[in-house]
Amino acid sequence: MGLPLEPTAKGVRLFVRATPSASKNEVQGLYESADGKVALRVRVTAAPEKGKANKAVIKLLAKPLHLPASAFHLVSGETDRNKTFDVSGDTETLMREIGAWIEEQIL
């Protein structure tokens, strides 16, 4: 199973599968859909209303990656569990650092 990351011209694209209204905020590993796409599985305590869960996902990811929340831009999945974020920054650095962080989370 690969990593849920793709390089872009302005950073990386990160694929996430979110579960809102969970008992705690956490990264649970990777999720592979039936079509073979891989996403980072996360759970957040925020309810899926008025963008609260999306903001909670960004906060959960931004802090350990030492990135500002403003670096994350929701591309798709505003009202869906499957979300795509563009993370702005140096592509090579983000691929390396986010990739290493994800690998730490799934071990």
**CATH number, domain 5-106:** 3.30.1200.10
> What CA–CA distance (Å, rounded) separates 38 from 15?
7
Q: Which two tokens stand for residue 23?
A: 């008992």
- pTM confidence score: 0.94
Boundaries of every domain in the chain: 5-106
Q: CA torsion sign, 50 to 54 to 60 to 61?
A: negative
pLDDT single digits (tens) 19-47: 999 999 999 999 999 999 999 999 999 99
**Residue 62 CB contacts under 8 Å (≥ 6 apart), including other chains:** 68, 69, 71, 72
The pLDDT of residue 105: 85
